[in-house]
Chains A and B, each alone.
Chain A
Amino acid sequence: MQGPHPQKLTAALAAKFASPTRSTRLTVVLGRWLALTFTICFLTGLFSHGLQNPPSWMFFPTNPVWIYQLCQGLHVTAGIASIPLMLAKLWSVYPELLVWPPIKSVRHGLERASIALFIASSLLQLTTGLINTYKWYPWPFPFRETHYWLAWVIWGSLLLHIAVKLPAIMANWNGRAVRRAEQQGPERGPASEGTAAAAAVGMPGTGVAPGRWSRRAFLTGVGVSTGAVVLTTAGQSFSWLSPLNVFAPRVMGTGPQSVPVNRTAAEAKVADLATSGEWSLAVTYRGNSTTFDLAGLRALPQHQEELPIACVEGWSQTAHWSGVRIRDLIGAVGAPPDSALRVTSLEPEGPYRLMSMPAEYVQDERTLVALELNGAILDVQHGYPARIIAPGRPGVLQTKWLQTVEVL
């Protein structure tokens, strides 16, 4: 018995999924928004990656002090905004999935393969990126490395996609021209698919079928949805939005001493070492080591700074820190203020046990070996007895539970 022809099947399926709201113009508008959020994510991600794994040419800005707070706030917020935008964009082109034959030529096959890679990478990147901010890792691959390499694949795919679709993008870029062409007749408009279908079943005067919504209404809905997810989460990064923060994993002002914690003393296995009365900080310069116990550090000139601590996962918190300027500390052992440092934590293991500090941060007088936070002695969760706080650095490089400072 001969079954139905695949083309008829896919055509019937496509008819089931047909919606007059879909049009090339709709896809182009959503694509513009998504290209913007993807580009923000890519550039801010590269900057953050460069700060943590600096190439030889990397620059290390310490002004404004909130530069990293802004960078990661934008990165995570743009990533969250991308989720509804991406779902809407994919919905707008869904019938393309059902075209028959699935591959018409080598070029068409390559194009579809590149789009499949683009979509799969993007869906995975946005989902795992969001879940990473919850510190939940249910997948069988390392997050940081995968996130970094997939970012190149996604942004490259974006450029390639724009190259392939450029004529359609250009024809549908200008909304007024598209609407004018649509009014002249379905066969003449570049984005006429939706309007033609609406007109076939629709309401005179509105161009919209009963019960459905117009392209503009759909875009407004996508904008409101995106605004809702942004407004209810971005308060973890931007203090002026913190009153609306109800769906972010972190809330400003929470945690010991009103500052959130990323890595706890228990996770780092330092609680006993850090609270031992025998703790001292060793500062090494030209082979000579000088130790400072807590009283010795407190005897050095103390300074107060208001600096944000900003995590790679997007949350941040501005706080008042006080302690010894790092340049004063190395000056006490005779080292020049333009030195680079290697700082070690009491943590027995972990990727951030060792931290390199470029000279730009050492020279900056706001970089402290902090002993107090918000007017009280550092909580052990925040790095007691001493930790680093520097302007414009990722939180993971603000080393807690200091053990040694080596002048390079």
Chain B
Amino acid sequence: MKQPNTPASVWSVRIVLGLAGTALIGYGLLGLPTQLGPAQLLGLLTWMAFAILLHDGVIVPLLTLTGAGLTRTGSRLGPVSAAILRGALMTGAAVSLIAGLLLKAQSEARNISALEGNYAEHLLWFWAALAAAAAVAIYAFERAGRPRPPTGARPPGRAGSGKGERRQNTRP
């Protein structure tokens, strides 16, 4: 029986997908000028270029800087705590992005029964809840990973540096 992932079958799938994809791209690109005028197409291209520049030139470098700072901060924590810190900040950033656009839209366009929420207050509460949950979790993990005070005679040969022991005990 022929294996489904033999090079010939993989190549067949790649060719079919590639041709179908190219055809759909062509359909979309050829369809745009049927409904958009030259000035609108130019506006679209400008917005697309701006989207790339904003993402590649601003957002990712800023995230990288933040990540470098977190690596420094997180290296004083156990691996689970460091991951919780990063995950909480990632979650907060994603929600803030959505809420930030909402707030901007609220200041620009107002419609009956739309955009009526107090999004700034909601965002503050969200961050407060997120920070509290992350702090509790980090505290619990750090406390669980801390070396216990000796209850009796220290076993021979277990001098141990607290930090090293904690990390050994808190695998993700």
Chain A interface (Cβ < 8 Å from any Cβ of B)? 16-17, 19, 80, 83-84, 87, 90-91, 94, 97, 114, 116-117, 119-121, 123-124, 127-128, 130-131, 134-142, 145-146, 148-164, 166-167, 170, 203, 205-206, 208-214, 216-218, 220-222, 224-226, 228-229, 232-233, 246-251, 254-256, 260-261, 264, 381
Interface size of B by CB at 8 A reads: 83
B172 on the A face (CB < 8 A): yes
Contact B94 A206 (CB under 8 A): no
B171 and A206 contacting across the interface, CB-CB below 8 Å: yes
Cross-chain contact A119 with B52 (CB below 8 angstroms):
yes
Is the C-beta of B161 less than 8 angstroms from some C-beta in chain A?
no
From B13, B20, B22, B91, name the one whose CB has the most chain A CB atoms within 10 angstroms. B91
Q: Annotate B74-112 by CB proximity to A: 1 below 8 A, 0 otherwise.
A: 111101001100110011011101110110111011011
Which A residues touch B125, using CB under 8 A?
246
| B29 / chain A contacts, CB cutoff of 8 Å | 149, 153
Instruction: Determine which of B15, B79, B105, B122 lies in contact with A213 in the assembled complex, contact meaning CB atoms within 8 Å.
Output: B79
In the complex, what residues of B have CB within 8 A of residue A256's CB?
113
B7-62 at interface with A (beta carbon < 8 Å): 10, 13-18, 20-29, 31-32, 35-36, 39-41, 43-44, 47-49, 51-52, 55-56, 59-60
Q: With A135-B109, A135-B114, A249-B114 as given contacts, are A116 and B52 in contact (CB-CB < 8 Å)?
A: yes
**Docked complex: B111-132 residues within 8 A CB-CB of A:** 111-117, 119, 122-123, 125-126
Q: How close is A173's CB to chain B, nearest CB, in angstroms?
A: 10
Tell me the bound Cα distance from A208 to B41 in angstroms.
47
Determine the chain A residues whose CB is within 8 A of the CB of B70 once the complex forms: 211
A126 CB to nearest chain B CB (Å): 9
- Provide the bound-state CA to CA distance between A248 and B67, in Å: 29
Q: CA separation between A252 and B72, bound complex, in Å?
A: 44
Q: List 21 A-B contacts (CB under 8 A).
A: A120-B49, A121-B48, A134-B109, A140-B39, A140-B40, A145-B36, A156-B20, A159-B17, A159-B18, A166-B10, A166-B13, A170-B10, A211-B70, A214-B83, A214-B172, A225-B90, A225-B94, A228-B94, A247-B123, A251-B116, A251-B117
State in angstroms the CA–CA spacing of A256 and B14 once bound together: 54
Chain B residue nearest to A159 (CB atoms) is B21
List chain B residues, Cβ under 8 A from A166: 10, 13-14, 17
The answer to whether A91 touches B60, judged by C-beta atoms less than 8 angstroms apart, is yes
When the two chains form the complex, which single residue of A124, A136, A216, A221 contacts B90, counting CB atoms closer than 8 Å?
A221
Given contacts A124-B51, A167-B10, contact A156 B60 (CB under 8 A): no
The count of A-to-B residue pairs whose CB atoms sit within 8 angstroms is 257
Complex-state Cα separation, A225 to B126, whole angstroms? 13
A260 adjacent to B114 (CB under 8 Å)? yes
Contact A149 B28 (CB under 8 A): yes
CB pair B35–A160 under 8 Å, yes or no, is no
A-B contact sample (10 more), CB < 8 A, given A87-B59, A225-B93, A260-B113: A150-B32, A157-B21, A166-B17, A210-B82, A211-B77, A216-B172, A217-B79, A249-B114, A255-B113, A264-B112
Q: Are B171 and A142 in contact (CB under 8 A)?
A: no
Cβ-defined contact, A123 with B21, below 8 A: no
Q: Report chain A residues within 8 Å CB of B83.
A: 213-214, 217, 220-221
Report A361 CB to chain B, min CB distance, Å: 26
Residue of B nearest to A202 (CB): B79
Output the least CB separation between A157 and chain B (Å): 6
Residues of the A chain whose Cβ atoms lie less than 8 Å from the Cβ of B146: none
- Which of B55, B97, B99, B101 sits near A123, CB closer than 8 Å? B55
Shortest Cβ distance from B59 into chain A, in angstroms?
A: 7
Of the candidates B35, B91, B113, B117, the one whose C-beta lies within 8 Å of that of A142 is B35
Q: Which residues of B contact A (CB under 8 A)?
A: 5, 10, 13-18, 20-29, 31-32, 35-36, 39-41, 43-44, 47-49, 51-52, 55-56, 59-60, 63-64, 67, 70-77, 79, 82-83, 86-87, 90-91, 93-95, 97-99, 101-102, 104-106, 108-109, 111-117, 119, 122-123, 125-126, 167-168, 171-172
Q: Which of B23, B32, B52, B119 touches A120 (beta carbons < 8 Å)?
A: B52
Q: Which residues of A contact B21 (CB under 8 A)?
A: 156-163
A221 and B86 within 8 A (CB): yes
- Taken together as a complex, chains A and B put the C-alpha atoms of A163 and B93 apart, in Å, by 33
Q: Could you tell me the distance between the alpha carbons of A1 and B87 in the complex, rounded to whole angstroms?
A: 47
- Asked whether B99 lies within 8 Å of A160 as measured between CB atoms, the reply is no
Contact across chains for A229 and B95 when beta carbons are under 8 A apart: yes
Q: What is the chain B residue whose CB lies nearest that of A128? A: B47
Cβ contact within 8 Å between B113 and A247: no
Q: Are B112 and A217 in contact (CB under 8 A)?
A: no
User: Which B residues lie within 8 Å of A246 (CB)?
Assistant: 117, 119, 122, 125-126
Bound: A123/B97 CA distance, A: 14
A213 and chain B: residue at smallest CB distance? B83
Q: Is the CB of B24 within 8 A of A232?
A: no
Highest count of chain A CB atoms <10 Å: which of B23, B28, B29, B106: B28
Within the complex, the shortest CB–CB distance from B62 to chain A, in Å, comes to 11
A134 vs B102: C-alpha distance when bound (angstroms):
7
Q: Looking at B25, B56, B86, which has the most chain A CB atoms within 10 Å of its CB?
A: B25
Residues A211 and B25 in contact, CB atoms below 8 Å apart: no
A352 to B109 Cα, complex, angstroms: 21
Q: A226: which B residues are within 8 A, CB to CB? A: 94
